[in-house]
Amino acid sequence: MLLNAEVDRIVGKGRVEGVMLRRDGGTSEVGCGNVLVCAGSVPQEEWLRGMGIAMDGILVKAGPDCATSVPGIFAAGDLVSRIKRIPQALATGEAAAYSAYKLLKDPYWK
Ligand SMILES: Cc1cc2nc3c(=O)[nH]c(=O)nc-3n(C[C@H](O)[C@H](O)[C@H](O)COP(=O)(O)OP(=O)(O)OC[C@H]3O[C@@H](n4cnc5c(N)ncnc54)[C@H](O)[C@@H]3O)c2cc1C
């Protein structure tokens, strides 16, 4: 794994033979037979801020019960976790659903 490196260009004659990497102020060629492009994504969180939901960077601020700063709105999954994995999404999803159920049952939930 090469960290802090950026692909400058793909090199090869008629086929992929390597990539030129920008790294540590210079460029160097690393040989490879294939290139898999991971373009990434840009989070769209402006609408959450517009609703007055408190954020921590691009994450929604939520407690263990997944309650946000806006009463009655709960958040789960990649929105609330730096660990973006399915088990984390399941756990927070269950907590958010449970909290929403408790809120709806209030004042009958004891
Ligand atoms: C390529 C890739 C591979 C991954 N591999 C793994 C893996 O092997 N193991 C693992 O644990 N995790 C993996 N993950 C991470 C995992 O997929 C996420 O952490 C998890 O899916 C997050 O769940 P979520 O419910 O927060 O979001 P999502 O699963 O993204 O669900 C959000 C849903 O909301 C919908 N949606 C979005 N906007 C709106 C809207 N305006 N109105 C209505 N619906 C909307 C979307 O269509 C989507 O169905 C991978 C992620 C990627 C991208």
- 14-23 average pLDDT score: 96
Residue corresponding to tokens 């990434």: 40
CA-to-CA distance for 34 and 16, rounded, in angstroms? 6
- 56-68 average pLDDT score: 95
Identify the pLDDT of residue 19.
97
Provide the residue count of the chain: 110
| Residue range 38-51, pLDDT digits in tens | 887 778 889 999 99
| Residue having the nearest C-alpha atom to atom 26 of ligand 1 | 77
pTM: 0.75
- Ligand 1 centroid to Cα of residue 57, in Å, is 19
Q: Which residues line ligand 1 (CB under 6 A)?
A: 77-79, 84-87, 89
Residue 91 has pLDDT above 70, yes or no: yes
CA distances from 53 to 8, 56, 69 (A): 39, 10, 6
| Residue having the nearest C-alpha atom to atom 13 of ligand 1 | 85
Q: What phi and psi values does residue 96 have, to the nearest 5 degrees?
A: -65, -45
